[in-house]
Amino acid sequence: MKLTLNTFLSLDGVMQGPGGPDEDRSGGFDKGGWVVPFVEEGFGAVVDGWFAATDEVLLGRTTYDMFHTFWSQVSDPDDVVAGKLNGRPKHVASRTMKEASWQNTSVISGDVVAAVEALKAKPGGELQVHGSCELAHTLHDAGLIDEYRLVIFPVIVGGGKRLFPDGAVPGTLALVDSTTTTTGAIALTLRPAGALGSGDIEVVDGKEVIVPA
């Protein structure tokens, strides 16, 4: 299966608590719900498109708890997100959870990287990670993410959990697709494209010249 990371980001890279004030208050975070003013039809189409491609879902413990509480209550047969989250196999990475009460959910309590490598080796379409900041860090640094799907919102949150913290493994991404919603959010699809490049810009004979490293 292809492993995709799907998440919302502020302009300053924050991914914490986008959907509501009480979604994730860890670390004293008090700015939850910053995505809500930008929700409209185009945004919904992007998210529905993500979930329509879901074969299995992989979540961190915090996101799992939040998703379970909210989406298990949604029974609308036309809701793409609820249909996939309630019906498809789910995996939650947790050091403390022993059993999961949400149907079709298994717990990954050991080596997350090895477990995800095994899931990726299964036949199928997409294994999707949604939110799940700490898990996203682990998967990025291990080089396991095949595609990054980010919706970047025109807000500066000022602090909170970030997708790429200091010390994240550097690299280059290739833009595969992009779209802009009517409220100014930008949805990007990116794939890993190799190591971080470098170079310099010099003046040669009065002209700017790009000099690769």
Instruction: For residues 105 and 158, give the distance between their C-alpha atoms in angstroms, rounded to a whole number.
Output: 35
DSSP H stretches of helix in 72-160: 80-87, 112-120, 133-141
Instruction: For residues 91 and 161, give the distance between their C-alpha atoms in angstroms, rounded to a whole number.
Output: 22
Give the domain CATH number at 199: 3.40.430.10
* Average pLDDT rounded to a whole number, residues 128-137: 97
* Average pLDDT rounded to a whole number, residues 2-14: 98
| Stretch (H or E) spanning 67 | helix 61-71
pLDDT at 122 over 90: yes
* Average pLDDT rounded to a whole number, residues 190-198: 95
Range of the domain at 185: 2-212
| Cβ burial, residue 192 (10 Å; 0-12/13-18/19+) | middle
The pLDDT, as a whole number, for residue 75 is: 95
Above pLDDT 70, what percent of the chain?
A: 100
Number of separate domains in the chain: 1
Residues 206, 210, 213: CA angle, nearest 5 degrees: 135
Local confidence band at 211 (pLDDT 50, 70, 90 cut-offs): confident
Tens of pLDDT along 140-150? 999 999 999 99
